[in-house]
DNA sequence: GCGTGAATTACACAGTTGTATAACAAGGCC
DNA sequence: GGCCTTGTTATACAACTGTGTAATTCACGC
């Protein structure tokens, strides 16, 4: 007489992944308030109770989603170096260009990021995630800068500056795309990073792009 | 027999101001989700029903609060020019330094800003507010750049770049203050804006500061 | 095949949310 | 000083929130 919904047992990893992915999609679509336990579980194809079987509470799921988002963005910027030439100037130029253009610089990604930023001040664990991912990205940038033929005297300062420039343009390009022409932000990011580092990143990028 | 709460009638402007201020304080303290109609009205010293007497719905109050926040931040950056000398290099340096240091660069302000950013994609009116305030700030910066003795060839590009740098450092300094030494971000912002514009903003700022 | 443990569903619950509506009272006007 | 507009309170309501708990049913070991 019961018409209980049939289901399949899945691995813990699979279920956690599905729930995190569903949460991110919902936050992207409708802001943090749209990611309710019921909406998340429905999108993941399970019932609400299961969330608390894999996460102690909703906060923990939120943290997991934030970590996943930041890891994704860093690895997307890094992916462009996978099959890049070994010339450090070209590598830096490609990395910077990738960071201020899609899919890294994307309205959905920025909105997602903003949704989590509000939690940083209140949740020490979220703050820790932020520190690790921010410093991780910056250190990556710094290592690219230190590999340059004529590295700057204070690579840490240079990395902070370029990181600030990248983050600002990343955000502005995603939030107000109609205010910029195609590739304008890439050009600006390369020109100004070049001015900061006293090298010509723009032509290095252009010649590399024309090679294909 | 009724012990109905006594009250005073106030002007529409006063009530709207109080409600907006209460909403901003709550978002700052506990994120967007803390700004419920009941919490807002309690903090403003009224009952919940009154909100809908002054705002058609909660969304409208949210929009008003966002507009107010952005106006405040721009005017705070601008305030430093009030009694600044007429030397355009000094004026630009003061403006940039103010934008990446308290009270403009502040964890509360950044968290508030992030809380609203999530709405930009969904709410066209919020998007319009964002466009106006972003372009307003950038145009201000561009006018300061154009006033320089040797203005750059493309002031728009320079303004976009400096704005990006400022926004990035504004955000990073507020979100992870322990990662930077005192005045480090001001120095970096001035050095790198100077590199982009080919002028020496850092010494202009330092000599101006030592004048007092 | 068949038990058995655990993944999953189903349901309940108390609290909160935004909103609608009616009763009330403050303060200006004559 | 009494009326009348309307700012303000009070209360109701249905929808939704996160969470706790018991009942089911899947899938694996034997």
A175–B130 C-beta distance less than 8 A = yes
Q: What is each CA distance from B37 to A85, A115, A132, A184, in whole angstroms?
A: 57, 20, 36, 43
CB-based contact B192 A188, cutoff 8 Å? no
The topology (CATH level 3) of B58-210 is Tetracycline Repressor; domain 2 (1.10.357)
Domain over B1-55 is classified CATH 1.10.10.60: yes
Q: Which residues have CB under 8 Å from B135's CB, separation 6+?
A: A179
Q: Which of A121, A131, A195 sits opposite B111 (nearest CB)?
A: A121
pLDDT of residue A1: 41
Low-confidence ranges of chain A (pLDDT < 70): 1-2
Q: Do domains B1-55 and B58-210 have the same CATH topology?
A: no
Q: Which nucleotides of D are covered by protein (CB under 7 A)?
A: 7-12, 16-22, 24-28
pLDDT tens by residue, A114-161: 888 888 888 888 899 899 989 999 999 999 999 999 999 999 999 999
Domain residue limits, chain A: 1-55, 63-210
Q: For A63-210, CATH number?
A: 1.10.357.10
User: In whole angstroms, how far apart are CA B149 and each of B29, B97, B145?
Assistant: 44, 20, 9
Under a CB-based contact definition with an 8 Å cutoff, are residues B182 and B159 in contact? no
Instruction: Among B120, B135, B172, select the one facing A164 at the smallest CB separation.
Output: B172
**In A, which residues are within 8 Å of B160 by CB distance?**
169, 172, 180, 184-185, 188
Residue nearest to nucleotide C7 (CA to C1'): A9
Out of A32, A131, A167, whose CB is closest to B32? Answer: A32
Number of H helices, E strands in chain B: 10, 0
Q: What is the pLDDT along chain B (212 residues), one digit of tens a residue?
A: 457 888 899 999 999 999 999 999 999 988 899 999 999 999 999 999 999 999 999 999 999 998 999 888 888 888 999 989 999 999 999 999 999 999 889 888 898 888 888 888 888 888 998 999 899 999 999 999 999 999 999 999 999 999 999 999 999 999 999 999 999 999 999 999 999 999 999 999 999 999 87
Gap from B9 CA to chain A (nearest CA, Å):
34
pLDDT at residue A2, rounded to an integer? 55
């Amino acid at each position: 007489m019961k018409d209980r919904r049939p289901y399949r047992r899945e691995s813990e990893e699979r279920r956690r992944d599905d729930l995190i992915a569903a949460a991110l999609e919902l936050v992207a679509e409708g802001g943090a308030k749209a990611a309710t336990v019921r909406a998340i579980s429905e999108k993941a194809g399970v019932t609400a109770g299961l969330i608390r079987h894999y996460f102690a509470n909703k906060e923990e799921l939120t943290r997991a989603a934030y970590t996943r988002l930041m890891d994704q963005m860093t690895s997307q910027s890094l992916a462009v170096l996978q099959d890049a030439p070994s010339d450090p100037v070209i590598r830096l130029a490609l990395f910077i260009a990738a960071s201020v253009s899609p899919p890294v610089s994307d309205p959905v990604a920025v909105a997602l990021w903003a949704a989590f930023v509000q939690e940083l001040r209140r949740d020490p664990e979220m703050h820790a995630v932020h520190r690790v991912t921010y410093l991780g990205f910056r250190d990556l940038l710094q290592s690219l800068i230190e590999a340059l033929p004529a590295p700057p005297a204070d690579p840490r300062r240079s990395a902070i500056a370029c990181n600030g420039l990248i983050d600002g343009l990343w955000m502005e390009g995603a939030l107000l795309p109609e205010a910029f022409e195609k590739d304008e932000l890439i050009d600006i990011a390369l020109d100004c990073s070049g001015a900061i580092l006293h090298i010509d990143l723009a032509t290095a990028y252009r010649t590399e792009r024309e090679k294909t």
